[in-house]
C-alpha cells in the first residue's frame, strides 16, 4: 500500500510517499481502507518532533480517518464493508490503517466519509472544553480565538448548538465572514482591532468563557476582556508562542485559568468524557453538526496540506482524499 512516511523529524516537505507493507489487525483492531483523513495542527508538531510526545521514526502521521472495514480482528464488533470513522495516534495518511475497535464509530447513513473523518479530534476537543471545562450554559457569551481554524470553528459550531452567544475572533474578513455564517453573533479581527476593548464592548462586559487554541499575543488581551469570574481555557499554541499571563489579572478579576489536553482528558475525567462523547455522537448522527471542510488534497500532496495548516491558512478542516 502507499503511505506517507516521516523518516526523520523535520518540516512537511521532508515527508515521502512510498510503498509500505499493509498493517495487520490484532485482537480488537480493525483494518480500514482509508477514504479520507483529516489534518490537525498536532500532526505538524509530531513530524517536527515538537509535540508533547515523540513518535519514533519512521512512522506514518495522521490521527483521523474514515473508510471501509476490510478485516476485523478477534473481538472487534464490526464487519467487513461497514463504514467507520475514528482516531488513532498515527497512521491515518495511508491507503490502509489500523483502528482500535473501541475508538471506531459507524458513519451515519447521510454523512459522507470526508465529513466523518473531519469530525473527531477537533469537535471532541471543543466539546470537552465547552461542556465539561467551561460548563457553558444557554445564553453565555463565549469568545473563541482562532475561530476559523479546526478547533476554533468546531467551538463556534458547538457553542451555537448549545445556545451560547459566540464572539468569534480571527485574522481576516474572510475568516470572520465564515464564522458569522456558522452562527457567531459577533466578530472581531484581532490583528486590526483592540481585542480586549472589543470583547468588553461587544459582550457588554459579560464574556464568561474564552476558548484559546492559538496562544501567542492574543491570549493576554482575551484574559483582560473576560468578565469578573470568567474562565479562560487554553487548548494549544498555533501562533507558535506560549503566552505568559500576568497572575495579577487572575487575582484582580477572580477568573479561572484551565487547560484541556485531548490525549489525557478521558483518563483524567472518565465520567465527563463518556457523557460528552455520547452527546457529541448524537449531535453528529442527527446532522445537527457537520464540519466545514475548507481544503482537500490528494495523498500525494500531504506535505502541502500540512504546510497549509502550519501557516494557519485553513478555514475549518483540511482533508486528505485517499480513495
The CATH number corresponding to 134-259 among 1.10.3470.10, 3.40.190.100, 2.60.120.10, 3.40.50.720 equals 3.40.50.720
| 3-state DSSP assignment of residue 35 | strand
pLDDT at 231 (0 to 100): 98
Location of C-alpha cell 451560547: 164
- Burial of residue 61 (CB within 10 Å: 0-12, 13-18, 19+) is buried
pLDDT at 314 (0 to 100): 83
**Which distant-in-sequence residues (6+ apart) come within 8 Å of 286 by Cβ?**
none
Could you tell me the fold of the domain covering 2-121+269-321? Quinone Oxidoreductase; Chain A, domain 1 (3.90.180)
Location of C-alpha cell 521532508: 14
pLDDT at 75 (0 to 100): 95
Record the pTM: 0.91
pLDDT at 120 (0 to 100): 86
pLDDT at 320 (0 to 100): 98
How many CA atoms lie less than 13 Å away from 190 in the CB half-sphere?
A: 26
d(CA 297, CA 192): 31
Regions of the chain short of the pLDDT cut 50: none
Location of C-alpha cell 480493525: 30
Specify whether the CB–CB gap between 183 and 191 falls below 8 A: no
d(CA 261, CA 265): 6
pLDDT at 313 (0 to 100): 83
Specify whether the CB–CB gap between 32 and 314 falls below 8 A: no
pLDDT at 323 (0 to 100): 86
The structural domains of the chain, with segments of one domain joined by +, span 2-121+269-321, 134-259
pLDDT at 116 (0 to 100): 96
pLDDT at 300 (0 to 100): 97
Give the helix, strand, coil percentages of the chain, each rounded to 5.
Answer: 35, 25, 40
pLDDT at 263 (0 to 100): 85
Instruction: Give pairs for 182-189: CB < 8 Å, separation 24+.
Output: 182/153, 182/156, 182/157, 182/292, 183/156, 183/157, 184/144, 184/147, 184/156, 184/160, 187/147
d(CA 131, CA 276): 7
pLDDT at 9 (0 to 100): 97
Cell numbers of 106, please? 459507524
Amino acid at each position: 500500500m502507499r503511505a506517507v512516511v516521516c523518516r526523520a523529524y523535520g518540516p512537511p516537505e521532508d515527508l515521502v510517499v512510498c510503498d509500505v507493507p499493509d498493517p495487520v489487525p490484532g485482537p480488537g483492531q480493525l483494518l480500514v481502507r482509508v477514504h479520507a483523513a483529516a489534518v490537525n495542527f498536532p500532526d505538524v508538531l509530531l513530524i517536527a518532533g515538537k509535540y508533547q510526545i515523540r513518535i519514533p521514526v519512521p512512522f506514518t502521521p495522521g490521527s483521523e480517518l474514515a473508510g471501509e472495514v476490510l478485516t476485523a480482528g478477534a473481538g472487534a464488533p464490526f464487519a467487513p464493508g461497514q463504514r467507520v470513522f475514528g482516531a488513532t495516534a498515527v497512521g491515518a495518511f495511508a491507503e490502509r490503517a489500523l483502528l482500535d475497535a473501541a475508538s471506531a464509530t459507524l458513519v451515519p447513513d447521510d454523512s459522507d466519509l470526508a465529513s466523518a473523518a473531519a469530525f473527531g479530534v477537533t469537535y471532541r476537543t471543543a466539546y470537552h472544553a465547552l461542556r465539561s471545562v467551561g460548563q457553558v450554559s444557554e445564553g453565555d457569551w463565549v469568545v473563541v480565538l482562532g475561530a476559523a481554524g479546526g478547533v476554533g470553528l468546531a467551538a463556534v459550531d458547538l457553542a451555537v448548538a448549545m445556545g451560547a452567544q459566540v464572539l468569534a475572533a480571527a485574522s481576516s474578513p474572510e475568516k470572520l465572514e465564515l464564522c458569522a455564517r456558522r452562527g457567531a453573533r459577533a466578530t472581531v479581527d484581532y490583528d486590526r482591532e483592540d481585542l480586549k476593548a472589543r470583547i468588553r464592548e461587544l459582550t457588554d462586559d459579560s464574556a464568561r468563557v474564552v476558548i484559546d487554541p492559538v496562544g501567542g499575543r492574543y491570549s493576554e488581551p482575551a484574559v483582560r476582556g473576560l468578565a469578573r469570574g470568567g474562565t479562560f481555557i487554553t487548548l494549544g499554541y498555533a501562533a507558535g508562542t506560549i503566552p505568559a499571563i500576568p497572575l495579577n489579572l487572575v487575582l484582580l478579576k477572580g477568573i479561572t485559568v484551565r487547560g484541556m489536553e485531548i490525549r489525557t482528558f478521558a483518563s483524567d475525567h472518565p465520567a465527563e468524557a463518556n457523557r460528552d462523547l455520547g452527546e457529541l455522537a448524537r449531535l453528529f448522527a442527527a446532522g445537527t453538526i457537520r464540519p466545514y471542510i475548507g481544503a482537500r488534497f490528494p495523498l500525494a500532496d500531504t506535505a502541502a496540506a500540512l504546510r497549509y495548516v502550519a501557516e494557519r491558512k485553513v478555514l475549518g478542516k483540511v482533508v486528505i482524499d485517499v480513495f
